[in-house]
Amino acid sequence: MTAIVGLVQDRRVWMAGDSSANDTDSLYSTSREQSKVFRNGQYLMGVSGQTRCAQVMRYVLIPPIMPAHIKGIDEIVEFMVREFVPVLRTCLDEHGVTTGEVTDPFPGNALIGVRGNILEMEPDFQVESNTELFNAAGAASAYCLGAFHATRDLIDDPWTRIRTVLKAAAAYSMVVKAPFSVEVMEPDE
DSSP codes of every residue in 23-79: ETTTTEEEE-SS-SEEEETTEEEEEEE-HHHHHHHHHT--PPPPPTT--SHHHHHHH
Mean pLDDT, rounded, for 127-136: 96
How does pLDDT run across 81-110, given as a tens digit for each residue? 999 999 999 999 999 888 777 677 878 899
Computed on alpha carbons and rounded to an integer, the radius of gyration of the chain in Å comes to 16
- The rounded distance, in Å, linking the Cα atoms of 44 and 77 is 15
CATH of the domain at 47: 3.60.20.10
| Average pLDDT score, the chain | 91
* SS3 state at 150: helix
- Whether 189 contacts 42, CB under 8 Å: yes
Nearby residues of 151 by Cβ (< 8 Å), 6 or more positions away: 161, 164, 165
Asked if 151 contacts 164 with a C-beta cutoff of 8 angstroms, the reply is yes
Q: Which residues lie below 8 Å from residue 155, measured CB to CB, with a gap of 6+? A: 161, 164
Q: What is the pLDDT of residues 20-33, one digit of tens each?
A: 876 666 555 666 66
pLDDT digits (tens, 9 = 90+) for 50-66: 888 999 999 999 999 99
pLDDT band at 140 (very low <50, low <70, confident <90, very high): very high
Provide the domain count of the chain: 1
Whole-model pTM: value is 0.92
Instruction: Give kind and range of the element (H or E) at residue 15.
Output: strand 12-17
Q: Which domain range does residue 54 map to? A: 4-185
Element (H, E) at 167: helix 158-172
Burial of 81 (0-12, 13-18, 19+ CB in 10 A): middle
User: Can you give the pLDDT at residue 70?
Assistant: 95
